[in-house]
Structure 1
Amino acid sequence: MSADIIIHNARILTMDDAHPRAEAIALTGNRIMAVGSDDEILAQAGPATRIVDANGATVLPGFNEAHMHIFGGSVALGELSLFGVKGFDALSKAVRDYAAANLHLPLLVAQTADYTILSETERVTRHHLDRIIADRPFMMVAPDRHTAWANTIALEKAGILQGRDVGIGNEIVMGEDGLANGELRESNAMRPVASMSVTGGREGLGVGTGGDPVHVTPEERAGDIAVLKKGLAYCASLGITSFQNMDGNLYQLEMLDEIEKTEGMPVRVRMPYHMKNFMPLSDLEEKAAAWKARFDTDKLRCNFVKLFMDGVTEGETAVFVDDYAHKPGWQGEPLFSGAAFNAVATEANRLGLPVAVHAIGDGAVRMVLDGYEAAIKANGKRDMRNRIEHIEVVHPDDIPRFAETGTVASMQPTHPPGSAGLPLEPYLTYIGRERWPYAFAWKTLVDAGAKIVFATDWPVSPLPPLSCIGDALTRKPWADDMPDHRLTLHETLAAYTRTSAWVEYMEDRKGVLKPGYYADVVVLSGDVEATAPEAIATLSPVLTICDGRVTFDARGGR
């Protein structure tokens, strides 16, 4: 049997410890046929074989983005990006230009508005935004998507200018005049404004509420599917062949399922069931387990549970063991009690569902580890591959507990302040210098035996994996006496390929380039090992293959 596709003259990093390097690879159908030398593999060519000359560039297993939000990211591709915008004048120009070009939008939405977009000392209010645009509803969202700022007309139309109870861990910040000052903390506070957008805020339901839209017209659904298709194609263009979508609602699952069944998705998708603190424990068996059975292919799977334990540090909604450094007496408020989360973790693991929990502060991380220990005590030691997402700060006492409980550290190299264009403040002041050594502590956790996966949390951070890998390798300590938390290039690549497949229980068929494994491959524009870390982001995918299908091709070929 001849190969369908052969890639040769390559520097192949297989991520297979038994055979780590090769020159060429042959693909047949949706599987890898052979990996070896140029001569060995080119001998497998036939008259119809497509032969791709990699020109000495790196070939890798397709990237596996372990934490992202496909619907929100897809929508954001058409919204205003304020990434890198600084100062009132620059903000004003960007917003007014966007408004003039989008007269049809019921709500103007901007993304990646940094907490210090005005300055390191002045926080945004509705009054600032009213000076920019007062006659059309406008909302801008922080990079972490846990805080937003809206102008007065947006607050009025959303019915929250007078404030509103939005539940534990959420806040409509009020001004001295007794009216909302424009800052909205967490999804319950943001949703009344977001629901006025052209998408009705549907892209935020999976991550914000875990629920589904009450009513969607056929036209709206078709529009949402079209947006998702653009996002999926964007993923393929970046060399991504798998992603783990941290939204968790049926609406998204059914749209992705329709795309896969009609034309085929260009990536593999894993999604969770999103468990909120108001949901009954019985939902795990009645819904989460049912979704697992319904969506159970290697292209679309729903086989874990996602929760939020806290919010974000800059919004003062993250949970810490000790007080915020700038706010004595405040440690944050968890979204689940310890007992409630222990029950969720125990029941989910009993049903064979791994758990992934957003935990930013060391207090939230500790509560999650406590829950995983409770699950082990109740159910016995199992291969659950439970995860903690983000882990921006970990208490030193809890570092060894990751290996002890088998908990995966799911972290984002694009998130440390000072990296990827992010400012140092107010983050460093809020956590305090005593916590700095234990912030974004990738190497410390890995050295202590933890498994680690990397991702961007797109659209919280830019999605390109090569840019994220560059950020991971160029991160600088915040002070001379701080530890260097960088991993090696190969450890970083493993966190984006092999280990991300392992955490999905798919290490036997993807994540490495090995005969019999899925034909999920990315060809880069250059040799990543010969490229300085500072220049890795200048590399790009030139060919992406998922399930044996070419999903992105920047240069063509025979």
Structure 2
Amino acid sequence: MRTRYHRLLALIGLLGSGLLQGAEPADLMVVGDIYTVDSARSWARVLAAKNGKIIYVGPENGSEAYRAESTKVITLESGQMVLPGIQDSHVHLLDGGLDELKCDLLNLPTPKRIIEVVKAYSEEHPNDPWILGAGWAPPLYRDGNPNKADLDKILPNRPAWLTSQDGHSGWANSAALDLAGIDKNTPDPPRGRIERDPLTREPTGTLRESAMNLVEDITPKPEDTIWEAVLLQKQREANGLGITSIQEALISPRALKVYHTLATRGELTLKVQCALATDAAKPDSQVDDFIALREQYTVGDRLRASSAKIFEDGGIEGHTAALLEPYVDRPGDSGEVYWDLERLTSIGKRLDQAGFQLHVHVIGDKATRVVLDAIEAIRKDNGFSDTRPQLAHLELVAPSDIARFRKLGTVANFSPMWCYSDAWIVEGTIPALGPERSGRLYQIQSFLNSGAVVSAGSDWPITALNPFEAIQVGITRIPLDNPSAPPWTPEERATLPDLIAMYTINGAYANHHEKTTGSLETGKAADFIIIDRNLFDVPVLEIRKTRVLRTYLDGKEVWPAELQLEVRAGPEDSLVTLTISNSSGEPLDAAAASRMELRAGSSLSSSRADWTVLPVTLEAVGGVLQAVVPAAETIQFIEVLEK
């Protein structure tokens, strides 16, 4: 049997040339199609870096001065391209990773299937004191309210706590409610709601917003070493998607400490801005605690904690978003803001004076209005500082408020993956808002037209971490799995250049480091990615398939995608053993195995679409992946692919 691996880069090696007098030789040089995302949105042919900084970006003519025998030169294959590193300006990387340790309820299609999965998980974990899960979709349930009785049938004695996909609701069984001391006499906490039987007032098992803390606070938490391992895994996955910078959109002191541990050990391969969690129940003096945390945990440009997260409302599907007009299906109910204007302005002034960015969750149009009013008051009293408030989600915004973002120096942060019609919109949003308001969701192009700075965030684990999937949806406004579907509000479709900017230079601006990263320009950090296709040349419906081949942070390769496949005799004559290793020596783990598949064919000239996917399980063994497969006579070539 012969083996074949389609190499991801055509040429990686040391190419020498005479170094021109006075020029500084580069450590690294990339030759190919380079989209710089500078102010002119210009293209270059060569990028050269030394000591983590870009020292040249431009045409090949002139780059010779930076090439020496010691320079590592990467020449791209035809069709590949270079982009600045991706900046995800709203993500929950560590918390989402910790959720993956729980029972996975994401994308389950029916309430029945959810119960089946929870039951199976509980049987597989008989010694766990709690059954914890995450990811159930509220649109699967009437009014988004699952009932404790369904959990009680399978878990009558062990407490169960399952959080929703959007993070705004939790589902408890009776055992969990009892441990939390929640009964019909328990009052709703501020900014929260205990869903109840309308006749008996007994809790039904669904808790909204701050009421979730009544149970969440008593659930067992993993040890710090587990948190560190999870963060290492998730940042590896982020690097593999081309992500070099993030804003952790809600972080606790404990989570910040975990990031700090990795940063001080030199293991943090992301540039991280953290949004510290505010608490409306605490006085404005909590800002003093934020200042202390910022001073204690800042590590150069790798880790900063100079943003403060505020939740101004909840979500439309649970009727906890704050609206200017009442819900269609709940006359007289407009939701409520969690911070009134006076309170928000008060703490906002303190945060602004201390140099913190406001990072505010806003879903409803009233929530956005109140936050903008507060920012206007803060600007009036404090003067116009460069703290760059960032409002995230912006599901429904009054048209008259859009222009205020630019005027007030406020960043609009969207999650492009939300911008298509799905069950959340059809079964949750439209019945709650009606067709007119539902037709004004996620007005990305309107914000771009206004001149506001628009950034992008995945909001993972709410939606996919993959930025290329989000870019495709932002352009098309149609679901990834149904390309023939009509676009949702097509007038709000954004262009490819604008979406790339949202994920690069605009994200850098939102995180206060656009002078050092976010575009490929001389003097900036060599934070860039190499991808397998030129996004400007491929059909828009192919963008989602983009694969990141290399990710560089400060000139250091943090994501190698080139693999080596070795085939040798197996334990029996009819079997062969396959070993996949990383050419850079980086270990491969179970997460890497889940992204790979092996395909086999009898001829290189045959269409790879006709090649057979080998039904094998890759196992991580000592930093490599291994599998045993039948040595079929018809198999002549094997290829490794990432899904």
Same fold (TM over 0.5): yes
- Corresponding residue to 1:447 among 435, 446, 449: 449
Number of equivalent positions: 534
Structure-2 change in CA distance of 1:132 and 1:14 (3 Å):
farther
| C-alpha displacement of 1:343 | 1.4
Corresponding position: 1:114 with 2:116:
no
CA deviations 1:450-493 (Å, max 9, x no partner) are 21101111112121111111221221599899552111001001
Q: Secondary structure at the match of 1:23?
A: strand
How many Å separate the matches in 1 of 2:122 and 2:71? Answer: 50
Moved more, 150-159 or 482-491: 150-159
CA RMSD between the two structures: 2.5
Q: Secondary structure at the match of 1:325?
A: coil
How many Å separate the matches in 2 of 1:74 and 1:476? Answer: 28
Counterpart amino acid of residue 439 in structure 1: L
| C-alpha displacement of 1:163 | 6.0
Asked if the contact 2:35–2:43 (Cα under 8 Å) also holds between the matched residues in 1, the reply is yes
Moved more, 480-489 or 362-371: 480-489
- Corresponding residue to 2:499 among 475, 492, 497: 492
| C-alpha displacement of 1:156 | 2.8
How many Å separate the matches in 1 of 2:121 and 2:251? Answer: 31
Asked if the contact 2:248–2:274 (Cα under 8 Å) also holds between the matched residues in 1, the reply is yes
How many Å separate the matches in 2 of 1:352 and 1:92? Answer: 47
How many Å separate the matches in 1 of 2:36 and 2:66? Answer: 19
Q: Please, which runs of 5 or more residues in structure 1 have no aligned partner? A: 201-219
Corresponding position: 1:516 with 2:516:
no
How many Å separate the matches in 1 of 2:547 and 2:120? Answer: 30
Larger radius of gyration: 2
Corresponding position: 1:173 with 2:175:
no
| C-alpha displacement of 1:423 | 5.1
Structure-2 change in CA distance of 1:163 and 1:58 (3 Å):
farther
Asked if the contact 1:476–1:484 (Cα under 8 Å) also holds between the matched residues in 2, the reply is no
Moved more, 534-543 or 46-55: 46-55
| 1:211 alignment counterpart | none
- Corresponding residue to 1:145 among 167, 170, 189: 167
Asked if the contact 2:143–2:317 (Cα under 8 Å) also holds between the matched residues in 1, the reply is no
| C-alpha displacement of 1:64 | 0.6
| 1:78 alignment counterpart | 101
Q: Give the alignment of 1:91-490 within 5 angstroms.
A: 91-117=114-140, 123-162=145-184, 164-175=186-197, 176-186=199-209, 188-195=210-217, 197-199=219-221, 220-284=223-287, 286-296=288-298, 297-416=300-419, 418=421, 422=424, 424-476=426-478, 482=489, 484-490=491-497
% identical equivalent positions: 27
Moved more, 535-544 or 161-170: 161-170
Counterpart amino acid of residue 250 in structure 1: P
| 1:89 alignment counterpart | 112
How many Å separate the matches in 2 of 1:36 and 1:163? Answer: 69
Structure-2 change in CA distance of 1:103 and 1:232 (3 Å):
farther
Asked if the contact 1:436–1:482 (Cα under 8 Å) also holds between the matched residues in 2, the reply is no
> Under a length normalisation based on structure 1, what TM-score does the superposition of the two structures give?
0.89
How many Å separate the matches in 2 of 1:168 and 1:116? Answer: 25
Moved more, 326-335 or 228-237: 228-237
Counterpart amino acid of residue 25 in structure 1: L
Structure-2 change in CA distance of 1:39 and 1:89 (3 Å):
farther
Asked if the contact 1:125–1:182 (Cα under 8 Å) also holds between the matched residues in 2, the reply is yes
Q: Secondary structure at the match of 1:199?
A: coil
How many Å separate the matches in 1 of 2:224 and 2:516? Answer: 34
Counterpart amino acid of residue 89 in structure 1: K
How many Å separate the matches in 2 of 1:368 and 1:532? Answer: 39
Asked if the contact 2:419–2:478 (Cα under 8 Å) also holds between the matched residues in 1, the reply is no
CA deviations 1:28-49 (Å, max 9, x no partner) are 2211222234565476444444
Asked if the contact 1:106–1:196 (Cα under 8 Å) also holds between the matched residues in 2, the reply is no
CA deviations 1:156-186 (Å, max 9, x no partner) are 3333255633522211212244432111111
Asked if the contact 1:108–1:197 (Cα under 8 Å) also holds between the matched residues in 2, the reply is no
| C-alpha displacement of 1:412 | 0.9
Structure-2 change in CA distance of 1:394 and 1:326 (3 Å):
same
Q: Please, which runs of 5 or more residues in structure 2 have no aligned partner? A: 1-23, 480-484, 564-582, 585-643
How many Å separate the matches in 1 of 2:444 and 2:185? Answer: 40
Higher strand residue share: 2
How many Å separate the matches in 2 of 1:306 and 1:440? Answer: 21
Q: Secondary structure at the match of 2:139?
A: coil
| 1:203 alignment counterpart | none
Structure-2 change in CA distance of 1:380 and 1:74 (3 Å):
same
| C-alpha displacement of 1:332 | 0.9
Instruction: List 4+ stretches of structure 1 deviating above 6 A.
Output: 477-481
How many Å separate the matches in 1 of 2:168 and 2:62? Answer: 53
Q: Secondary structure at the match of 1:517?
A: coil
Q: Give the alignment of 1:56-67 within 5 angstroms.
A: 56-67=79-90
| 1:68 alignment counterpart | 91
| C-alpha displacement of 1:517 | 0.6
How many Å separate the matches in 2 of 1:109 and 1:54? Answer: 46
Structure-2 change in CA distance of 1:100 and 1:39 (3 Å):
farther
Structure-2 change in CA distance of 1:47 and 1:316 (3 Å):
same
| C-alpha displacement of 1:531 | 2.5
Asked if the contact 1:35–1:515 (Cα under 8 Å) also holds between the matched residues in 2, the reply is yes
Asked if the contact 1:163–1:180 (Cα under 8 Å) also holds between the matched residues in 2, the reply is no
Q: Secondary structure at the match of 1:247?
A: strand
Moved more, 150-159 or 397-406: 150-159
Structure-2 change in CA distance of 1:229 and 1:161 (3 Å):
farther
| C-alpha displacement of 1:53 | 3.4
Structure-2 change in CA distance of 1:132 and 1:12 (3 Å):
farther
How many Å separate the matches in 2 of 1:65 and 1:272? Answer: 13
Q: Secondary structure at the match of 2:417?
A: coil
| 1:504 alignment counterpart | 511
| 2:14 alignment counterpart | none
CA deviations 1:77-127 (Å, max 9, x no partner) are 333333322123332333233334333433333322111235x67842112
How many Å separate the matches in 2 of 1:449 and 1:18? Answer: 16
Asked if the contact 2:429–2:438 (Cα under 8 Å) also holds between the matched residues in 1, the reply is no
